[in-house]
Amino acid sequence: MLKLTGSVPPTLFLRPNTSFFIGIKIVNKHHLSQRNLFYYSPMSKHNGPEQTFGFLTQKPYSPPSWAQHLHPIPSHVFSLAHVPTPIHRWNLPNLPKNVELWIKRDDLSGMQLSGNKVRKLEFLMAEAVAQGADCIITIGGIQSNHCRATAVAAKYLNLDCYLILRTSKILVDNDPGLTGNLLVERLVGAHVDLVSKEEYANTGSEVLTNLLKERLIREGKRPYVIPVGGSNSLGTWGYIEAVREIEEQLHAKGLGYAMNTIKELEFVKEIAAATGIVLDPVYSGKAAFRLLKDMNDNPAMWEGRKVLFIHTGGLLGLYEKTEQITPMMANWRRMDIAESVPRKDGVGKMF
């Protein structure tokens, strides 16, 4: 856990190498208000509204002042996301007394619903291009949001993309279909290599990506490998930038990874119905579930506080949970049209 203090008005906590949660503790509640949370310049980045980052451009990178002691510092960054992502009030039901809950919509970062995954890719893709790569390799589960984001980013930069996707032993020899993230990946032309969960566990992601890398090199290609989730020291700079973005906007675990209890999925469904915001089941859904549970279990600790929750995206990951979610959906029926209702010829016909 990296604690960032000093010139940053609130105390910020950043967990490197993961996209699960960035927590923010507001030291002075007056720093957080509707007026100073919104940062209106849609293309501004880094040093205020006068600095602009053109979309799909590569620029030299300068870290925030409070991160300049970290090494190595990336030399360049690609602008792939639509940032700053908005922050707005989130009126969840049954909040403790006087709690103001805000949500940062990293699910709206662009790149075909890529969520916060695009933040890491801004740095990873910059290194790939700097090294002269002509294709990208990455690896993940069959409905990996990171793999889909990588496929889209590669296409934006005119790079080929090769995905190693983990699936069941029963399905590994079959066409993976066009459901959820697979639809986007295959539409943008990504090459898909399937491995079984057993092969993945026995061989390991690093060996698998190296095998594919060696094959592509023999074919005359120049591949760049991105690890699972884009989670390495370089990708972590995406979250340092996210903290800088939040600072500017302020100026002043369940069953396991990608596994959900029925209560968590019911929570995702209830929140969507209550607020119109759809959470993903892997990261944001679990984080919000535990946040609200802690608020209900310890209301006195939360009373009067202002809280910022970061929605990291991942909407298409819900496709993998459709069998579990379907029984929760009762909001449909066959329309009852009585025989006595008069009919009119030519009205409502299908041609």
Written as six digits, the tokens of 61 are 């990178």
As a whole number of angstroms, the distance between CA 333 and CA 138 comes to 43
DSSP class of residue 141 equals: E
- Predicted confidence band of residue 203 (pLDDT cuts 50, 70, 90): very high
Q: pLDDT tens-digit profile of 250-292? A: 766 444 445 556 776 777 777 777 787 878 766 677 778 888 8
Exposure on the CB side of residue 351, measured as CA atoms within 13 A: 3
Residue 156 DSSP SS3 = helix
**Does 221 have pLDDT greater than 70?**
yes
As a whole number of angstroms, the distance between CA 294 and CA 289 comes to 9
**C-alpha angle 145/150/156, rounded to 5°?**
130
The DSSP code sequence of 66-99 is GGTTSSSPPSEEE--S--SPPEEE---TTPPTT-
Question: Domains in the chain, ordered, with CATH?
Answer: 67-114+237-328 (3.40.50.1100), 117-230 (3.40.50.1100)
C-beta separation of 215 from 51 below 8 A: no
Long-range (24+ apart) CB contacts under 8 A made by 170-176 are: 172/196, 172/199, 176/142
As a whole number of angstroms, the distance between CA 244 and CA 65 comes to 10
Q: Which residues are catalytic?
A: 144
Mean pLDDT throughout 194-211? 95
Average pLDDT of the chain, as a whole number: 78
Q: pLDDT tens-digit profile of 96-142? A: 888 888 888 888 888 777 778 899 999 999 999 999 999 999 999 99
